[in-house]
Amino acid sequence: MPHKPYKTATLCANAQVGTDSAFNAVIPPLYLSSTYKFNGLEDMGRYDYGRSGNPNRDGLADAVSKLEGAAGGVVTSSGMAAIDLVLNVIPAGSTVVAPHDCYGGTHRLLRAREKQGRCKVEFVDQSNLESVKASLADQSGILLIETPSNPLMRVVDIAMLCKIAHDAGILVVCDNTFLSPARQLPFSLGADFVIHSSTKYINGHSDVVGGIALAKTPNHVEELQWWANCTGVTGAPFDSYLTLRGLRTLNARIDIQEANTIKLAEILQTQSRVSQVYYPGLKSDPGYELAQKQQSGPGAMLSFELDATDDEINKFLRGTKLFQLAESLGGTESLICHPATMTHRAMDAKSQKIAGINQGLIRLSVGLEDISDQASELQDLFKLLEKV
């Protein structure tokens, strides 16, 4: 009898548990060896060389594939490496249609690949389905979706975008970094590839930089594996071991971090110096309805517009005690950042303006601290503004 598919919490907690066939270790061990013995000529075991395959990397890819509903995937050395790896599946000169408000590093990578002549790139507002249709007409290539977007938390319709792309013969890649499979399953909505910066929620402890590229079909998995070995972008065994360890608490972490975020978003809405809160968990957010449809929760990232001068913004950010003023997201600790000068500084001023990244925009990655401490940190920061 085929066994019932397990729930997300179960898949996380039991990721690769009990799979060690050598000594029945409950938690699979770390394999650091860069090379593997052959049994004889033309008689290779499961692995030959650490760039092409490693048990820790494969264990992590398998666990995330199960969570996302992928045929398989490749663990890479970073999220950027995962995005770049997927670009290999399209022929040179194809078009990549990306969100105009995507992560700054993605914007830089695509612009650089375009400059090299590898692909053409169009940045579009993906909430405008007509402009997505227009940008895909008579093209071949990839539609890259990032939802909720970084840093403005805009939600776009994955199922609708997949339909438009597939009607035009275009493959869809979805960056699921901001929600993780604990909150959003892009393959079930039609995506062909899912990528992660596993640096974020999947690892969840801000101590590994890594990425994962997953595919819906075995053929695409094979293509990703071939290119990953060819270009050498595969991740390190120890990083995979740590990331798998982090993954086991993913569901529990997100539950708490998200509950905290909902409360902080409500507090921020009551602040006179906050002109806008961007969080799809708020009923007033334009992405609320869509998030209800395609996400199983609003996640633990939010941003807000601080109505303040540059000096005040500086004072606000320098006044933090509990929230670390730092880039990245998805760890157990709360992080606060200023996208215009930090995560999105690789975007030129014009592109930032088009994306809506203003000087007053602040992004929060809400951690696992007690909500009362997080709330009083925010209250203290707003008090600093009263004294300016």
Ligand X SMILES: Cc1ncc(COP(=O)(O)O)c(C=O)c1O
| Residues annotated as part of the active site | 51, 103, 175, 200
Please say which residue, 70 or 75, places its beta carbon nearer to ligand X: 75
Binding flag, residue 197, ligand X (CB under 6 A):
yes
> Omega of the bond prior to 91 within 30 degrees of 0, cis?
no
- Cβ closest to ligand X, residue 197 vs residue 295: 197
Binds ligand X (CB under 6 A): choice among 16, 177, 206, 234: 177
Pick from 203, 86, 65, 185: nearest CA to 141 = 86
103 is an interface residue for ligand X by CB under 6 A: yes
Task: Give the whole-angstrom CA distance, residue 192 versus residue 213.
Answer: 11
Query: Cβ atoms within 10 A of the Cβ of 347, count?
Result: 26
Determine, following the binding rule CB under 6 A, whether residue 76 of this chain makes contact with ligand X: no
Name the one range near ligand X by CB under 6 A: 78-86, 215-223, 237-245, 368-376. Answer: 78-86
Indicate whether 147 belongs to the interface with ligand X (CB under 6 A): no
Nearer to ligand X, 269 or 324 (CB): 324
Indicate whether 365 belongs to the interface with ligand X (CB under 6 A).
no
Q: Residue 110 or 132: which CB sits closer to ligand X?
A: 110
Of 61-69, 102-110, 161-169, 278-286, the window that binds ligand X (rule: CB under 6 A) is 102-110
Give the β-pairing of 361-365 and 301-306: antiparallel
How many positions of this chain bind ligand X (CB under 6 A)?
A: 15
280 binds ligand X (CB under 6 A): no
Q: Which residue is nearest to ligand X (CB)?
A: 79
Q: Is 126 in the site for ligand X (CB under 6 A)?
A: no
Applying CB under 6 A, does 105 fall inside the site for ligand X? Answer: yes
How far apart CA 299 and CA 147 sit, in angstroms, is 11
CB of 10 to ligand X, least distance (A): 27
**Neighbouring C-alpha atoms within 13 Å toward the C-beta of 375:** 14
The answer to whether the Cα torsion of 294, 299, 301, 306 is positive or negative is positive
The minimum distance between CB 82 and ligand X, in angstroms, equals 8
Q: Can residue 209 be called a binding residue for ligand X (CB under 6 A)?
A: yes
- Residues 6 or more apart in contact with residue 122 via CB below 8 angstroms: 95, 96, 97, 98, 135
Q: How far is the CB of 81 from ligand X (least distance, A)?
A: 7
Q: Is 334 in the site for ligand X (CB under 6 A)?
A: no
| Token duo for residue 353 | 């303006």
Interaction between residue 80 and ligand X (CB under 6 A): yes
Residues in the chain: 388
Among 146, 258, 305, 377, binds ligand X (CB under 6 A): 146
Structure-token pair, residue 384: 């600093």
User: Judged by CB under 6 A, which stretch of 59-67, 171-179, 239-247, 351-359 contacts ligand X?
Assistant: 171-179
For the bound state, the minimum distance from the C-beta of residue 42 to ligand X, rounded and expressed in Å, comes to 38
Binding window for ligand X (CB under 6 A); candidates: 8-16, 170-178, 226-234, 265-273: 170-178
Distances from the Cα of 20 to the Cα of 17, 59, 223, angstroms? 8, 10, 28
Structure-token match 């598919």, residue found? 5
Nearest to 110 by CA among 134, 74, 146, 161: 146
Question: Does 101 contact ligand X by CB under 6 A?
Answer: no
**Residue 119 C-beta: closest distance to ligand X, Å:** 18
Using CB under 6 A, which of 58, 62, 84, 175 touches ligand X?
175
Minimum CB–partner distance for residue 146 and ligand X (Å): 6
> Residue 103 or 304: which CB sits closer to ligand X?
103
CB of 373 to ligand X, least distance (A): 25
The reply on whether position 79 binds ligand X by CB under 6 A is yes
Interface residues toward ligand X, by CB under 6 A: 78-80, 103, 105-106, 146, 150, 175, 177-178, 197, 199, 209, 211
